[in-house]
Amino acid sequence: MKKNLLLFLAFAGLTIEANAQIKITSADMPKNGDVVFYSTSSNKIDVSKTGENYDWDFSDLKYVSNDTFKFNNPSGIYAVAFFGNLARKSNIFNQEGQFFFKSNTTEWAQTGLGFKIAAANLDVPLKFKNSDQLYKFPLTYGSVSYADTFGGVTTIQTFKIAIHGKRETQVDGWGTIKTPYGTFNCIRLKSDVIEKDTISFSGVNNSRTEYTWLAKDQKIPVLQVVISANLQQQPTVTYRDSVRTVNNPIVLKPEFTADKRIIKVSETVSFTNKTAGTNNIYRWKISPASHTFIEGTNDFSENPKVRFDAEGKYAVELTATNGGEVGRLSEPDYITVNKTGNTSIRNSESIFQDVTIWPNPSAGNFTISLPKQIAG
């Protein structure tokens, strides 16, 4: 009887150990030279479910894209501004850029960012006066941390870029999580972020709620869901993964229109996305870069509003993804910006390309449909 009791207690002890909540420390964060694969997904995730000893099953996540996070010591101009930090390449303000982080025994925090002005081939650092504390160590169930007034400002001649925000993080659950990459003991964090990004005199509300699942030795979240305060923007879902390839993808056919295509400087164009399908993820690319997404929209919005800040012809590209499906539509010289917003009919072949005559051929009576630029 005594032997059976000891065996039972030993088994119970193993069970408790297997299901005990974990503790995340700086040892679980990336180091210089780490390369970590991740995937993005278009799946909808119910983030309301959490608690103690909870089992999250996201094994049915379908990947849209697959890429790597590469962590390295800063180089070039960034080596001075962010000495002792880690750099991770990313897309910032529609330009090639990097995020910078510091890691020590008490925190993992973002210390700033850098981006390239392609036209001038110039790397611009934006160092935060106060860091954005992403994780305060050790992280255990019930932990709460605050990052008040993080952000910084950089100025290039008369062009100012600023980021200011606040973050409140709470570990609101622990248990196990299952993704296509594997099954892990984990903790879950909920972070409420109030952030405003300012480019020149145009402010963008980048407030959001981040739901993050962390596991031991995984370097990055095994799953993260970011829900923007801008309801037009779809949530972003990323998860730790291995190398993935898309086999025989079905190509989506992106479609879009604009409420006007010939405008004057500083005028706004509203784009309407007409791509078929649900749960698509969109990415807009407009070149050259002298334009600004406004009214809370950005390059990931389904129907963005864009102010054009300089004369010229602008190319517009829309990429749509959904699971293994990828489609892209590129329209060169789609938007024309000039001083008056008018174009001479005599010199505009592009306008006459939009004139429609029907029926054609005609028995005598026919109808001519003029584009908005001519019809007024």
Query: Does some domain include residue 331?
Result: yes
Q: Which range is most confident: 52-56, 141-145, 291-295? A: 52-56
Encode pLDDT of 30-80 as tens digits: 999 999 999 999 899 999 999 999 999 999 998 888 888 999 999 999 999
Assess whether 52 and 134 both reside in one domain. yes
Share of the chain above pLDDT 70, in %: 79
Assess whether 236 and 265 both reside in one domain. no
Alpha-carbon distances of 165 from 142, 196, 249, 367, 373, rounded to whole Å = 23, 6, 40, 57, 43
The domain that holds 104 is classified in CATH as 2.40.360
Q: How far apart are CA 234 and CA 208, in angstroms?
A: 11
The pLDDT mean for the chain works out to 83
Q: Is 235 or 251 the better-scoring residue by pLDDT?
A: 235
Burial of 117 (0-12, 13-18, 19+ CB in 10 A): middle
Assess whether 171 and 288 both reside in one domain. no
Encode pLDDT of 186-203 as tens digits: 999 999 999 988 875 567
Print the domain residue range for 311.
Answer: 256-342
State how far Cα 256 lies from the chain centre: 21
Query: Does some domain include residue 245?
Result: no
Q: How far apart are CA 308 and CA 268, in angstroms?
A: 6
Q: Is the pLDDT of residue 142 over 50?
A: yes
How many Cα neighbours within 13 Å face the side chain of 336?
A: 11
Q: How does residue 246 score in pLDDT terms, banded at 50, 70 and 90?
A: low
Predicted pLDDT at 195: 93
Query: Does some domain include residue 182?
Result: yes
State how far Cα 131 lies from the chain centre: 20
Q: Is the pLDDT of residue 162 over 80?
A: yes
For 5, list phi and psi in degrees, rounded to 5: -65, -40
Assess whether 53 and 148 both reside in one domain. yes
Assess whether 126 and 154 both reside in one domain. yes
Share of the chain above pLDDT 90, in %: 57
Q: Is 97 or 88 the better-scoring residue by pLDDT?
A: 88
Least confident of 1-15, 146-160, 212-226, 252-266: 1-15
Predicted TM-score (pTM) of this structure: 0.66
Assess whether 195 and 301 both reside in one domain. no
Q: Region 79-99: what's the mean pLDDT?
A: 85
Alpha-carbon distances of 217 from 14, 56, 78, 123, 186, rounded to whole Å = 21, 19, 28, 33, 11
- List the structure tokens of 304: 């963005």
Query: Does some domain include residue 9?
Result: no
Q: Is 374 or 107 the better-scoring residue by pLDDT?
A: 107
Assess whether 35 and 132 both reside in one domain. yes
- List the structure tokens of 43: 């799946």
Q: Is 177 or 374 the better-scoring residue by pLDDT?
A: 177
Query: Does some domain include residue 32?
Result: yes
Q: How does residue 358 score in pLDDT terms, banded at 50, 70 and 90?
A: low
Residue 229 is classified by DSSP as: S
Q: How does residue 374 score in pLDDT terms, banded at 50, 70 and 90?
A: very low
Assess whether 337 and 355 both reside in one domain. no
Which of 208, 240, 272 marks a domain boundary? 240
- Cis bond leading into 180, ω under 30°? no
Assess whether 322 and 353 both reside in one domain. no
- List the structure tokens of 33: 């030279």
Query: Does some domain include residue 6?
Result: no
Predicted pLDDT at 161: 84
Predicted pLDDT at 205: 85
Q: How does residue 1 score in pLDDT terms, banded at 50, 70 and 90?
A: very low
Query: Does some domain include residue 2?
Result: no
Predicted pLDDT at 337: 94
Assess whether 333 and 273 both reside in one domain. yes
Predicted pLDDT at 140: 95
Predicted pLDDT at 260: 94
Least confident of 103-112, 162-171, 203-212, 352-361: 352-361
Assess whether 57 and 197 both reside in one domain. yes
Q: Is 154 or 26 the better-scoring residue by pLDDT?
A: 26
Least confident of 9-23, 70-84, 104-118, 358-372: 358-372
In residues, how long is the chain?
Answer: 376
Other CB atoms within a 10 A radius of the CB of residue 346 amount to: 5
- Nearest C-alpha neighbor of 289 from the set 157, 92, 152: 92
Assess whether 44 and 68 both reside in one domain. yes
Q: Is 42 or 82 the better-scoring residue by pLDDT?
A: 82
Q: How many domains does the chain have?
A: 3
Place of tokens 């050790």: 138
Q: How does residue 158 score in pLDDT terms, banded at 50, 70 and 90?
A: low
